[in-house]
Amino acid sequence: MKRIVLSLAAIFCLLAAAAALAGERGFIDDSGQEVRVASPYKRIISLYGAHTENLFSLGLDQEIIGVSPNESHPPAALAKPVFSYRDDPERLLAARPDLVLIRPMIMRGYRGLVESLRRAGVAVVSLQPTGADDLFAYWHKLGLLTGREAQARAMTRRFQGELARLKSRVAAVRTEERPRVYFESVHRRFKTFAPFAMSIFALEAAGGVNLAAGADSVRGSNIAEFGKERILSLAARLDIYLAQTGPMNRVSAAEIKSEPGFAVLKAVRENRVYLVDEQLVSRPTLRLLQGVELLQGILYPRLTAGGDAAGARP
């Protein structure tokens, strides 16, 4: 009798094929864990605001049984029970979730919580797209987990269509005529965004030129080192100074303008320093479209009836 020897790769392929025949599909999450989905999850705790917002966009109001602290959008999220990655695992388990959605930061800092939940049979999935290139794949994974793949595809089509419309408004503007921008992520450390970050995607889609395109990402994140000296070196070229505001960067326009040395910046001299809500320019949700339109109103005031876009704060 012949002996049949299969390689590990061949065995894995056979197992994957068997899973597919059984209706089970999956992906590798952002912690490197293989996630298999035999059927849609129905009792979901979301420990990241972007997950929560996207789940609501997918029509999963009833399936969301818990959200993270400080939720702000959509309003329906405010009525959900609140959970934290700092909670005792038993508190989450008492809610009987079948899926807990987290992001890599939680996986790194609270591994004990994750392992306790998994030992109890709860699926824990870590997702957070680093940049705009990962946005649609991220929505697809949420759709796969929840049985809302058609809705995830609809989100993608809606985003692509609206983005094309917004880009078309400035398509005729030549590169050399586009406003030159520095986009601040963390003021106290003079940090900007990595070139692949959502916020830079929004800026460039709005028709702006990123003057910090050469900034180095911090440990592969969307935050990038830049430094005060490099900001000052932009002086005469810097048309507009943007800063995200939120938990990561609690800053005012007055604080930016009064920063020692910043008086030499063209944007400061011409009073073109603006604050924008980080949820609109940094979160991987449909509201990123609002962020693009907001930035477009700042960069090209004549495109909006009332001057600078509503929501931007000088």
pLDDT tens, position by position, 187-199: 999 999 999 999 9
**Cβ atoms of 107 and 128 closer than 8 Å:** no
Model confidence pLDDT, tens digit, residues 240-258: 999 999 988 999 999 999 9
Say if CB 195 and CB 213 are below 8 A apart: yes
The set of long-range contacts for 208-212, using a CB threshold of 8 Å and a minimum separation of 24, is 208/178, 208/179, 208/180, 208/181, 208/240, 208/295, 208/299, 209/175, 209/178, 209/179, 209/180, 209/181, 210/181, 210/183, 211/180, 211/181, 211/182, 211/237, 211/238, 212/182, 212/183
For residue 6, name the pLDDT band (cuts at 50, 70, 90).
Answer: very low
Mean pLDDT of 58-69: 97
pLDDT above 50 (res 9): no
What Cα–Cα distance (Å) separates residue 117 from each residue in 52, 185, 239, 244, 286?
19, 34, 50, 34, 30
**What is the percent of the chain with per-residue pLDDT over 90, rounded to a whole number?**
82
In the structure, what pLDDT confidence band is assigned to residue 304 with cuts at 50, 70 and 90?
low
Query: Mean pLDDT, to the nearest integer, of 72-90?
Result: 95
Q: All domains of the chain, ordered by start, with CATH?
A: 13-154 (3.40.50.1980), 174-303 (3.40.50.1980)
Q: Which of 24-28, 124-128, 269-273 has the lowest mean pLDDT?
A: 24-28
